[in-house]
Amino acid sequence: MFGSLLRFFRERAGMTQEGLGGYAGYSKSQVAMVERGERAPKGKLVEIADETLSAQGALLAAARKLKTSPLPAWTATYAEIEAEATALHTYANHVVPGLLQTEAYAQVAIGCNYPPLEDEEIEEQVAARLVRQRLFQRRPTPALSFVLEQIALTRPIGGRHVLGEQLRHILEVGRRRNVEIQVMPSDRETHSGLNGPMILLETVDRRQLAYVEGQNGGYFVSEQPSLGDLFGRYGTLRAQALTPEESAKLIEQVAHEL
């Protein structure tokens, strides 16, 4: 709602996003993200916009009631469902998934975002990611499984030290009774997950859902036959991947070689 109000006053004043950004020290894309509700207004944007656009205090009043989430807009709903899931199964093909990330790894991964985030935004998103990991300690205990591409375990996000710490953390998490972690080796000749990453969930009311995230957002899959196809695809992925025991040995080897 704040973004819509900002857009209304900007357009009424006949000013472009680039023009408003020039007054506030924002880029055109940053102003656009605020207007779409994807980024909270930072710095003096609210005060400058209210005066420049002759909003007569309307933007200042709206900003005082503004509640923001450190999570990107498209993941907020997913995070709520994830926190209460009775089962969660993740296939990750290019980076260690958020639930398994260490703080140092998460800081670097989130910092790779484009357009670049402010330091404060990075810290907020890292904190939110770590809060999500309370799922591992939750009662009743959820059933969790992960299939990770080998490249996600060898790509040196943050450097050798950060990656080594991350691999040891994965091994520690994998020792939990309710967690199974498998690695998809890079030399596998058949692969059922070539269409990309996915997350499969079972909600508290035993409803199955799938969540698929891409470059510019994510979406839920809840209808058949698409939902059944994704669950079937994940089952095949687990059969094609190394066993949890074989996977742990491979992760230990990669960590030792760093």
| Cβ atoms of 168 and 104 closer than 8 Å | no
* Structural domains counted in the chain: 2
Residue in 12, 5, 103 with CA at minimum distance from that of residue 53 = 12
Q: What share of the chain is helix, strand, coil (3-state, %, to 5)?
A: 50, 15, 35
Q: Is residue 105 part of a domain?
A: no
Burial class from Cβ neighbours inside 10 Å (0-12, 13-18, 19+) for residue 206 reads exposed
Residue % of the chain over a pLDDT of 70 = 97
Q: Please indicate, yes or no, whether residues 60 and 79 belong to a single structural domain of this protein.
A: no
Mean pLDDT of the 202-227 span: 92
| Cβ atoms of 227 and 140 closer than 8 Å | no
Q: Please indicate, yes or no, whether residues 147 and 248 belong to a single structural domain of this protein.
A: yes
Q: Please indicate, yes or no, whether residues 57 and 176 belong to a single structural domain of this protein.
A: no
Q: Is residue 9 part of a domain?
A: yes
Residue 91, pLDDT above cutoff 90: yes
Q: What is the mean pLDDT of the chain?
A: 92
Q: Please indicate, yes or no, whether residues 232 and 190 belong to a single structural domain of this protein.
A: yes
Residue 73, pLDDT above cutoff 60: no
pLDDT in the model for residue 36: 87
Supply the CATH number for residue 54's domain. Answer: 1.10.260.40
Q: Please indicate, yes or no, whether residues 171 and 242 belong to a single structural domain of this protein.
A: yes
Q: Is residue 102 part of a domain?
A: no
219-247 confidence digits (pLDDT tens): 999 999 999 999 999 999 999 999 999 99
Q: Please indicate, yes or no, whether residues 176 and 51 belong to a single structural domain of this protein.
A: no
Q: Please indicate, yes or no, whether residues 199 and 245 belong to a single structural domain of this protein.
A: yes
Q: Is residue 103 part of a domain?
A: no
**Which structural domain, as residue segments, surrounds residue 154?**
73-97+134-257
Burial class from Cβ neighbours inside 10 Å (0-12, 13-18, 19+) for residue 186 reads exposed
Q: Please indicate, yes or no, whether residues 141 and 232 belong to a single structural domain of this protein.
A: yes
Tell which of 15, 39, 64 closes a domain: 64
pLDDT in the model for residue 170: 98
Tell which of 19, 39, 64 closes a domain: 64
Q: Is residue 159 part of a domain?
A: yes
- Angstrom distance (rounded) from CA 22 to CA 9: 16
Indicate the angle between helix axes 28-35 and 2-12, nearest 10 degrees.
120
Q: Is residue 115 part of a domain?
A: no
pLDDT in the model for residue 72: 58
Pairwise pLDDT comparison (159 vs 218), residue with the higher score = 159
Q: Please indicate, yes or no, whether residues 91 and 211 belong to a single structural domain of this protein.
A: yes
The band of 52, judged by pLDDT with boundaries at 50, 70 and 90, is very high
Mean pLDDT of the 94-123 span: 94
Residue 68, pLDDT above cutoff 70: no
Q: Is residue 122 part of a domain?
A: no
Supply the CATH number for residue 234's domain. Answer: 3.30.870.10
Q: Is residue 128 part of a domain?
A: no
Q: Please indicate, yes or no, whether residues 151 and 45 belong to a single structural domain of this protein.
A: no
The band of 57, judged by pLDDT with boundaries at 50, 70 and 90, is very high
- Hunting for tokens 């997350």 — which residue is that? 199
Q: Please indicate, yes or no, whether residues 155 and 33 belong to a single structural domain of this protein.
A: no
Sequence-distant (≥ 6) Cβ neighbours of residue 18 within 8 angstroms: 28, 31
Residue 11, pLDDT above cutoff 80: yes
Q: Please indicate, yes or no, whether residues 37 and 93 belong to a single structural domain of this protein.
A: no
